[in-house]
Structure 1
Amino acid sequence: MFNGHFERIFSTMFLIISSLFVHIAFLVSVVDIYFKSPIVHNIKPQSSPLEAPARRLVLMVADGLRADSFLGADDLFKTNASHLRHVIEEREAWGVSHTRVPTESRPGYVTLIAGLYEDPSAIAKGWKDNPVEFDSVFNESRYTWSWGSPDILPMFAKGASGNHVYIDMYGSEVEDFSGRRSTTRLDTWVFRKVEEFLNHAKTDAVLNEKLHQDKIVFFLHLLGLDTAGHTHKPHSVEYKENIRVVDAGIKRIEEMIEEFYQHDKKTAYVFTSDHGMTDWGSHGAGDKSETETPLVAWGAGVRGPRPSTSAEPSSPASWRLGHLSRSDVSQADVAPLMASLIGIPVPVNSVGTLPRDYLEVTEHHLSELMFSNARQMVAQYNKKRELTEAGSLSWIYKEFSVLNRSKETKLTDQIRSHIRAKRYTESVSTFLSFLCV
């Protein structure tokens, strides 16, 4: 009798311990798979050998601006964003930039500027700091000057090698979510600081010399709309008034930059957002209002407007833009676009693909840009393959057969051969087939 009792106890304990072990194993595997940094180091940057279409880039990010709030062409929009509406109609390429969850500010900016989707371990730091340093468009630039919030700017200066990323921030106490103060003052602060900076450069010979070099970036972080959305909601008068202020500020900054550089037609402009916002003023999840943001590009190297085709995404009637070609992108594609415009390497850990539909360059130039994008992806892939192989038992490790070393070499050699033979269409087609692997 006692033996049977002890057997039951032993059997029960064994089941409990086995179940606990299995649950721990599953938990560890989930953390190991999904909370591993996508960032790897010691990758050689790749760049195009040809002269860049632009010498400088102006990146303007309206934090928390959803696509339909910006692109919707009701009467109020026409009044509040007349400049950017004119740019869309007359001078630029536009579309929707599709973000990923979590639709928070830090992941959005990392994707836009570094081309990679956020390191999951950053959640442990509240999306505020870099758990692992990463490459970015700012890091690859010759110089970057940025203005805006202390929540965003420091992470790109911290992750940059050398001292060539400059930041100018207001204090955290200025970010008021109580609704008692106008949210537009966050954006007017940025516009005022940029204006003061350009005026100062006219009398500062050292700064003026830096500003007249190539491969430079100006970054304007505009937080007012995000604050307005949280405190007043995206359909409020305050939110739409903030759009008007941003629109007017962008027009003024563009005029000043063009005047400073004597209208040399070597400046590229990119306007977008890090994430959208729900009707009730929140973000973080995957609702369409949170994941669809506007993308507007114009200036040097960017194509002008052209008629839409049936193959392109259809736009809501309220946007009144159905007659214009719309070019949608994944948010990570913005980084290789910006890098290609000013002739710097695509950030080494970028997963973005150059959105060629935004560019106005020769077929040769486009082929070289896409080839450098392909080499950057191959270099990243090879480094991750090396790390995986080094961390695996030799008798367990199996190479990914769809893109093994021989196939990878064959594809890159084909692209290079097509470019040398001036078969540019074929080189682009081979690059696209490489992406489908």
Structure 2
Amino acid sequence: MLLFFILGLLVHFVFFGSIFDIYFTSPLVHGMTPQFTPLPPPAKRLVLFVADGLRADTLYELDENGNPRAPFIRNIIMHEGSWGISHTRVPTESRPGHVALIAGFYEDVSAVAKGWKENPVGFDSLVNESKYTWSWGSPDILTMFAKGVGGDHIYTYSYDAESEDFGAHDVTKLDTWVFDNVKEFFHAARNNRSLFSKVNEEKIVFFLHLLGIDTNGHAHRPTSREYKDNVKVVDDGIKEIVSMLEHFYGNDGKTAFIFTSDHGMTDWGFHGAGHPSETLTPFVTWGAGIKYPQKVSAQKFDDAFLKEWKLENWKRQDIHQGILPVDYLNNTDLFKAESMFTNAMQILEQFKVKMTQKKEATLPVFFTPFK
């Protein structure tokens, strides 16, 4: 009995230790050779709108009067771009959600130990690879992509941390602050030769982090009037920014737009777990290199969302992390093939580095590479 007890205890310790080895180890691989698509991209600049804490159903559904809650975004879906649901993963929190969006990987659980306030490991990102990035929003989100990055090409504009007050009467100001500051920035760019030159470069990113919806959801819950009205505030703000940018760049057709969210929220105002209300977020994109709306008579999805949202005739294309969304691209077959090939080559580079690391840490007699 004693031997059996000791054996059982040992097995439990092994299983317990394996959890930390599997889940508390960074998934990142460093040292790969970067891969690039040789063909020129259709866009010179990307404008990324992230409505923190926005559920897919709240954006896409019609209100109690049968009208779209976000008429500008609805118009984009029907007349200008492509749309779908972005399937996020746990933990459905702002930091790991934004890391997945901008850096392309799901953050390891070890970040919990630092409250997702510091980078537990260094990582590359879209922002880091840009020529210049300008971002506006919460200091908690913006600074983590600028920290430790070499060069002077990432600019962040954040409001006071005290502004993120869940009990404030009107937290839509967190979003209107972003929109107002973006407008002021481009007004200044017209009269500043150096800044004007920078914003007209290629590989430019403008990142607008919109925290009001998330804050209203925590304070009043997603079923509240405050949460839903905030969606309209965001929709109006995006409409103004898009119009301003098109005018600023002379409708050159070189701007790509993405509107999405980092995570959703439960009916009782929480997020972090894996309920569909937390993991199903909206994804709407339009502009340079993006397909126009596709009318269809039937769709492959077996959920009831399309009929509820009255969008069953506009092709829905869902986003899954790590899979190149080729169906969103409005380009030649050659460009799509080159993009898929580059994606595969980048994955191969990760495999090569991981194999080298494994070989160095394993006795030769136990190391057998796959054919």
TM-score (ref. length: structure 2): 0.95
Q: Is the 8 A contact 1:150 1:172 kept in 2?
A: yes
Name the counterpart of 1:160: 149
Distance in structure 2 (CA, Å) of the matches to 1:146 and 1:299: 20
* Other-structure match for 1:235: 223
The range that moved more, 88-97 or 27-36, is 27-36
* Structure 2 residue 327 is the aligned partner of structure 1 residue 357: yes
Which residue of 2 is the match for residue 73 of structure 1? 62
Tell me what 1:390 maps to: 360
Task: Name the CA distance, whole Å, in 2 between partners of 1:297 and 1:68.
Answer: 17
The answer on 1:36 being equivalent to 2:6 is no
1:210 equivalent to 2:180? Answer no
Match of 2:42 in 1: 53
Q: What residue is the counterpart of 2:273 in the other structure? A: 285
CA contact (8 A) 1:122 1:130 kept: yes
Question: 2: distance between equivalents of 1:323 and 1:18?
Answer: 61
Deviation (angstroms), 1:29: 2.4
1:186 aligns with 2:156: no
C-alpha displacement at 1:23, in angstroms?
Answer: 3.7
In the alignment, the residues of structure 2 paired with residue 308 and residue 325 of structure 1 have an alpha-carbon distance, to the nearest angstrom, of 6
Structure 2 distance, partners of 1:92, 1:159, is 36
Matched position secondary structure for 1:395: helix
Secondary structure of the residue aligned to 1:78 is coil
SS in 2 for 1:283: coil
Q: Does 1:329 align with 2:299?
A: no
Amino acid at match of 1:317: K
Does the aligned pair in 2 maintain the 1:308–1:326 contact within 8 Å?
no
Which residue of the partner structure matches residue 319 of structure 1?
309
- Partner residue of 1:97? 86
Q: Within 5 Å, give how 1:104-119 maps onto structure 2.
A: 104-119=93-108
Distance 1:77 1:84, change over 3 A: farther
Say which structure is richer in helix: 1
Q: What is residue 306 of structure 1 aligned with on the other side? A: 294
Q: Which whole-Å CA distance do the structure 1 matches of 2:291 and 2:312 have between them?
A: 18
How many percent of aligned residue pairs carry the same amino acid?
52
What amino acid is the match of 1:229? G
Residues of 2 paired with 1:77 and 1:260: CA distance? Answer: 35
Aligned residue identity for 1:319 = W
Q: Is 2:265 the counterpart of 1:271?
A: no
Classify the secondary structure of the residue corresponding to 1:151. helix
Which whole-Å CA distance do the structure 2 matches of 1:321 and 1:98 have between them? 18
One-letter identity of the residue aligned with 2:332: T
Alignment partner of 1:59: what SS?
strand
Residue equivalent to 1:5: none
Are the structure 2 counterparts of residues 62 and 77 from structure 1 closer, same or farther at C-alpha, using a change threshold of 3 Å?
A: farther
What does residue 341 of structure 1 align with? Answer: none
Partner of 1:137: 126
Q: Distance in 1 between matches of 2:284 and 2:150?
A: 29
* CA deviation after TM superposition for structure 1 residue 316, in Å: 3.5
How many angstroms does 1:73 deviate by?
1.9
User: For residue 373 of structure 1, what is the aligned residue in structure 2?
Assistant: 343
- Indicate conservation of the 8 Å contact 2:298/2:313, yes or no: no
- The Cα of 1:17 is off from its aligned counterpart by 5.9
Residues 147-181 of structure 1, C-alpha deviations (whole Å, 9 max, x = no match): 00011111100153322111111111000111x32
Runs of 5+ in structure 1 lacking a partner? 1-10, 333-351, 405-437
CA deviation vs aligned residue, 1:296-350 (integer Å, no higher than 9, x gap): 00000000001135453253422000000000011x2xxxxxxxxxxxxxxxxxx
CA distance in 1, matches of 2:65, 2:351: 48
Quote the residue 1:418 is aligned against.
none
In structure 2, relative to structure 1, the CA distance for the partners of 1:77 and 1:301 (3 Å cut) is farther
Deviation at 1:364, TM superposition (A): 1.0
Deviation at 1:76, TM superposition (A): 5.6
CA distance in 1, matches of 2:235, 2:94: 21
CA distance in 2, matches of 1:217, 1:16: 59
Change (3 A) 1:62 1:114: same
Aligned residue identity for 2:238: I
SS at match of 1:188: helix
Structure 1 counterpart SS, 2:314:
coil
3-state SS, counterpart of residue 197 of structure 1: helix
The answer for the alignment partner of 1:339 in structure 2 is none
Q: In the aligned structure 2, how far is the partner of 1:216 from the partner of 1:45?
A: 19
Shift of 1:247: 0.2
Q: Deviations over 1:35-86 (max 9, x none)?
A: 1101121112111111110000000000000100101123467354111111
CA shift digits 1:350-394 (9 cap, x unpaired): xx1210111100111111111111111111121112112221222
**Corresponding residue for residue 246 of structure 2:** 258
Task: Report the Cα offset of residue 22 of structure 1.
Answer: 4.2
Query: Where do 1:239-250 residues align within 5 Å?
Result: 239-250=227-238
In 2, are the aligned partners of 1:77 and 1:240 still within 8 Å (CA)? no
**Structure 2 residue matching 1:152: 3-state secondary structure:** helix
- Alignment CA distance shift 1:302-1:216 (3 Å): same
